[in-house]
Every structure is written in C-alpha cells, then in structure tokens.
A and B are shown apart, each in its own frame.
Chain A
C-alpha cells in the first residue's frame, strides 16, 4: 500500500450530502476482476452523458479540478454498498484524501486499506474548506501533524485512530501484521472448539 504522509493538491468541491457508493462507481463497472483502471468510471453518471460525453458542469470535468487529489464533500460520504471499487476508482483517478463531516463505516474502513485518508472535521471547518476548494486554493493535509492547511494558512486539526494513522504513514500490510499473531489465532480456535464443538463439525 502506498504511504500517506503529506499531501498538497487541488481540492474538488462536492457540496452534496449522502454521496453514495453507487454514485461514486455505478454497478456496471463492478464486473471487473482487477483493482485498477476504474478512475475513468469515477462518478460516471454525474460526469458523463449516457452517450459518454463529458457533462461540463460537473466539477471533475473543470480545470483545475480534473487534477484534484482531494475531494471536499457534504455529510455521510460513501454510504451504501460495501464495494471497494469506490476507493479504487477514487485512487485510480488520483484522489488521495476526502474531507467531510462524516463517512459511512465500510467506506471509511476501505479507504485506509488503499492509502486514502478520509479526514473528518466539524461542519464549520468543512464549509470553510469547501469555500477554499471553490476558490481553487490548494490544500495541504499533513497526517503526521494531523492537520489540514487551508486558505490564508489557516489550520484545522483532525482526529484519527493511532493504529490507522500508523498503518497509513508506514504503508503497512494489514494481513502481514495479523499473521504475526498466528499462534494466538490457533489457540483461540482450540479453545473455541472445546466449548462450541458444533462450530467445527
């Protein structure tokens, strides 16, 4: 997994609440057996006409937002389906961070598995950063310092669980980390088999 340390880049404003994963990547693009190449389908129905032409009014079809690496969005971003294709599509497009007041749990979790940082901030802060994004102010997200730097150098501190932060900073492989505990997993199974044998029959 790609490490996440400091990100400075263009932020695309998406002032909508409840952006769901069906919007982020519609189901017809879930038939792939690959993780890559989904960026061209990101926000497909909002970004393109049924004939495949760009909708000029959609933010990611405008300069400089075509090159955005951050999305600033309304409440409850990423709700709905568990499809990891949503963060894969974001990442493949070039998005490395999202800023919102809240996220759906599964999407939030999926981001961390792909080196994407979902930043949670209070409503007023998101509104100010949304305004910065609209004014094409580049934002800086520093995971080490746990802060976002907006227009005029204003900083916004954010919270993040220490373990998730460490995994992102170091680009750690979750499975490798867990397999260190193989003996404990085996001991758990032995104990469970004794008390609930029907789970193993």
Chain B
C-alpha cells in the first residue's frame, strides 16, 4: 500500500518525466499561457538558437498588460512602446503557430481570467505563465505557478521545466463567513496572518468549510493572491462546483470525454492521513472586511480598525518598513481606517475582474452615486465578462451611478497602459499589490474587495460595506 499523498504530491508525481540525484525533476507542463510583457525575449531566444515550439497547441496567448481600456481602442495603441510589445506578440504567435486572442477579439482579457473562462484550466493539470498571478488557476485543483522569461522559453522549447518539489502547507478556514465578507477578505486576512513570506517555498492547499463554500470566482481570488503570501502556488481540490463550472466551456473536455475526465478529477483530493510541512487554521467567524494600510499586502487590517503604531513593533526591520510605509501612504498611526479619504477607485484585475465581482460591486452601486471629486473605473476582466455584465444590465447600474465602464485588460492593477494614479493620489483598489508606485509613481493603494471598493466610491472614504 502506498503512503497517503497530498493533492500537490499527486499532481507532481503524475508529471515527472525524469528526476536526478538532488531531487531536481523535469516536470511536464500541460498548459502554457503567454502574454506580451514576459514573452518577447523568450521567442527571440528560440529564434537565436533555431529551436521550435515543442507543442504549440498547449499554449494560449493574449495581450493584456499594455492594452488600452478606453472605448476607442479599436483604433490601436497610442504609446509606441506598448504598441511594439503587442505587435511583437502578434508576430511571434503567427511565426510559431500559437492560438491567440487579439485585442479586438471578444474573448480577449486578462490571461488568468480567460484560461478558466475558456475551460483551458482543468483539475490535475500543470499550468504555467510568465506571470506571478498564475497561482489563480490553482482554484481548479491544477498546479499552477508563475515563471520568468527564461523558463517561458524553456517551456516553449520543451513543454517541461526543471523543478524541485516545493514543501506543502495547508491553510484551513473553518466555519462560515459573515455576510459582507468575501473571498478577498479571506485571502487578505490569511496574508495578514502568515505574512508576505509566510508561504515561501511552499505550495498551499486551502481547505475548510469557508473555502468549500466559495464559488469558482471566489476560489480564484483566494488562489490568485496566494503569491502575495510568497507561496509558489495555491490549490483547492476540485468538487461539484468545479465540474459544474467547467461543463460546456469551449476548451473543456466534451461529451464522453467530460465524464471520463470527471472520474479522474474526483481522485484529485488529498488522501486521508496525508501530512503537510506546515498547517495554519483560521476561523471564518473572526474575519471582517479587510483593507490594507501600507505598501505590502501583509499590512492589512479589518475596516473596523485603526492604522497601527510602529512604536508597538519590536523587530527593527519591520518597524523601519512600517515607518517608511506610513510616510509613503500619508497616514498617521492610530487614525481610523474609515476616516481615510480616497481619490480614485479601481475595480477589476485578475484578482477581482470576474462577473461575480462586478455583480457585488453593482449591488452596492445600485441607486447610489459616486462621491463628488472621486473618479471610479470598472475594468471587466475579459470581453466575455463585459458582455455578460451588459446582458445583466450591470453596465447601466454603474454608468447611472457615475462609474466609468471600460474595456478589458490589466489596466490600473499595474498601470502599464494609460490608466494610472498621479503622485499622492489615493485609490481604493480590488487589485493584488499595494507596493510603492505599483499603480503609478507616488500613488497610494488600498486593497479591498469589490463591494468594499464600490462602497468607498460612493462615500469617498474607506467604508465598511456592511454599514451602508
């Protein structure tokens, strides 16, 4: 009888092509997502060495980081560097025979939104992309992680990676979430609890009633931000919620194949008695809506709280980081978070740009108005999310309330296109990183859920959505 294995071990074991003495393996990669920012040098490397793409059908490409989100984008990209990068991808996919959703394709969107949306992301797969938020796909019980450009080239050339197995960690969120508390709040609370390096070297498997109770969209939000806890990947064992989501999607198995796939997918759970290198347990009941106050995702607090005091921190490194963060963010220790006024609102990103996120924001926006002096933008995660939202009339709710309803892309999550904060501007954002300058040099980011961001939009300050 074989020893009990974790879900991670099962996926890992089933993808090892070869292993050497020190445990470094050649790991087979089932699916590869490609975008314009981290791929040009990889394709150039193939050209320089005369190598081919090993299995073009296993790769899907899309331009998302640089694309404008304005309504006139069919006219093209104004910024010459952004345009060159997107044009380079267009040229590369053609040369190497890779499936590509161009900027004007209805299926275009953020790479981590479109993979699941198309049914490309499936349980038990290994999935990589030159993008740290590849962890998103772990929501389906796929081993998915971000890689650098050299590794993008490696996967293109060989459909494999040289990897060593990560350590395993289980994070259990027990019980049920309070009303008004979402997947975003759960993952922010987790990062607050374990820190931005809490998961380093580990693959995290999420468990517990609160996780099981999440929709696929919510699970993707949790796995997406697993990288902000430093972990290599996040995993949630597939279940009926997963199978129902996948059924009928264009790239998912069809007909009899789907039933066969489900039978296999059902085996993708950690065995009874499997052990983890690290275990963390949180109670769902203890989690309130969260907002970040600093410049690292671990600098998070319940919206009911205050900006913490660096004087109370003993570790010198942490204390100086806190002082720097408060200075950058223009906040004083002890002030109530609900007293923090905002200038902009960004709802979108691979963390929170899916239909359920837009529904949650629209539920708050309905019948209300964006506060005076606040600019609030909604950027759907993909063309299909946008179309779905418009079918449900969400666009009208947002426009009526004074939000700017835009075209899909990464947008102000990282501000590589024209959407960015000006120095000193403060933003309520549903994205994933509040690093210095992330949304624009000198810009100040507060991370939160879509409902919380919509609440901030209508009041003009950080707000507990439960009190609206």
Q: Is the CB of B22 within 8 A of A177?
A: no
- B residues in contact with A200, CB < 8 Å: 57
Q: Is the CB of B321 within 8 A of A18?
A: yes
Which of chain A's residues has its CB closest to B318's CB? A17
- B residues in contact with A87, CB < 8 Å: 148
- B residues in contact with A75, CB < 8 Å: 197, 317
Which of chain B's residues has its CB closest to A86's CB? B148
- Shortest CB-to-CB span from A160 to chain B, Å, is 10
- Shortest CB-to-CB span from A108 to chain B, Å, is 9
Residue B37 lies at the interface, judged by CB distance under 8 Å to chain A:
yes
Residue A109 lies at the interface, judged by CB distance under 8 Å to chain B:
yes
Q: Is the CB of B38 within 8 A of A82?
A: yes
- A residues in contact with B150, CB < 8 Å: 84, 110, 113-114, 174
Q: Is the CB of B66 within 8 A of A31?
A: yes
- A residues in contact with B84, CB < 8 Å: 31, 33
Q: Is the CB of B196 within 8 A of A76?
A: yes
Q: Is the CB of A34 within 8 A of B321?
A: no
* Pick from B22, B200, B442: contact of A163, CB under 8 Å: B22
Which of chain B's residues has its CB closest to A34's CB? B41
* Interchain CA distance A113-B261 in the complex, whole Å: 36
Q: Is the CB of B436 within 8 A of A23?
A: yes
Residue B88 lies at the interface, judged by CB distance under 8 Å to chain A:
yes
Q: Is the CB of B151 within 8 A of A109?
A: yes
Within 8 A of B (CB), among A142-194: 161-163, 174-175, 177-179, 181-182, 184-185, 188-189, 192
* Interchain CA distance A35-B150 in the complex, whole Å: 10
* Interchain CA distance A31-B158 in the complex, whole Å: 26
* Pick from A18, A83, A185, A197: contact of B160, CB under 8 Å: A185
Q: Is the CB of A20 within 8 A of B132?
A: no
- B residues in contact with A106, CB < 8 Å: 132, 145-148
Which of chain A's residues has its CB closest to B410's CB? A27
Q: Is the CB of B41 within 8 A of A28?
A: no
Residue B435 lies at the interface, judged by CB distance under 8 Å to chain A:
yes
Among B51, B55, B85, B160: residue with most chain A CB under 10 A: B160
- B residues in contact with A82, CB < 8 Å: 38, 130-132, 134, 146-148
* Pick from B151, B257, B441: contact of A50, CB under 8 Å: B441
Q: Is the CB of B435 within 8 A of A22?
A: yes
- A residues in contact with B164, CB < 8 Å: 161
Q: Is the CB of A30 within 8 A of B441?
A: no
* Interchain CA distance A196-B230 in the complex, whole Å: 32
* Interchain CA distance A181-B160 in the complex, whole Å: 10
Among B84, B158, B164: residue with most chain A CB under 10 A: B158
Residue A10 lies at the interface, judged by CB distance under 8 Å to chain B:
no
Q: Is the CB of B22 within 8 A of A20?
A: no
Residue A69 lies at the interface, judged by CB distance under 8 Å to chain B:
no
- A residues in contact with B321, CB < 8 Å: 16-18
- A residues in contact with B160, CB < 8 Å: 178, 181, 185
Residue A45 lies at the interface, judged by CB distance under 8 Å to chain B:
yes
* Interchain CA distance A130-B131 in the complex, whole Å: 32
Known contacts A175-B158, A178-B26; decide if A30 and B200 are in contact (CB<8 Å).
Answer: no
Q: Per-residue CB proximity of B422-459 to A under 8 Å, as 1/0?
A: 01000000000101111001100000000000000000
Q: Is the CB of B230 within 8 A of A26?
A: no
Known contacts A31-B81, A175-B157; decide if A80 and B132 are in contact (CB<8 Å).
Answer: yes
Q: Is the CB of B433 within 8 A of A17?
A: no
Q: Is the CB of A163 within 8 A of B24?
A: yes
- B residues in contact with A26, CB < 8 Å: 437, 441
Q: Is the CB of A33 within 8 A of B260?
A: no
Known contacts A105-B201, A113-B148; decide if A185 and B230 are in contact (CB<8 Å).
Answer: no
* Pick from B132, B153, B157, B317: contact of A179, CB under 8 Å: B157
Q: Is the CB of A184 within 8 A of B17?
A: yes
- Shortest CB-to-CB span from B156 to chain A, Å, is 9
Residue B232 lies at the interface, judged by CB distance under 8 Å to chain A:
yes
- Shortest CB-to-CB span from B430 to chain A, Å, is 18
Q: Is the CB of B416 within 8 A of A31?
A: yes
Known contacts A196-B264, A197-B257, A199-B30; decide if A28 and B24 are in contact (CB<8 Å).
Answer: no
Among B17, B65, B324: residue with most chain A CB under 10 A: B17
Known contacts A175-B154, A196-B261; decide if A181 and B436 are in contact (CB<8 Å).
Answer: no
6 of the cross-chain contacts (CB-CB < 8 Å) are A18-B321, A33-B88, A35-B149, A106-B147, A163-B20, A189-B28
Closest CB pairs A-B (n = 5): A113-B150, A198-B253, A84-B148, A33-B40, A110-B148
Give the interface of B toward A (CB within 8 A).
17-18, 20-22, 24, 26, 28, 30, 37-38, 40-41, 44, 49, 51, 54-55, 57, 65-66, 79, 81-82, 84-85, 88, 125, 130-132, 134, 145-151, 153-154, 157-160, 162, 164, 166, 196-197, 200-201, 230, 232, 253, 257-258, 260-261, 264, 296, 317-318, 320-321, 324, 414-416, 423, 433, 435-438, 441-442
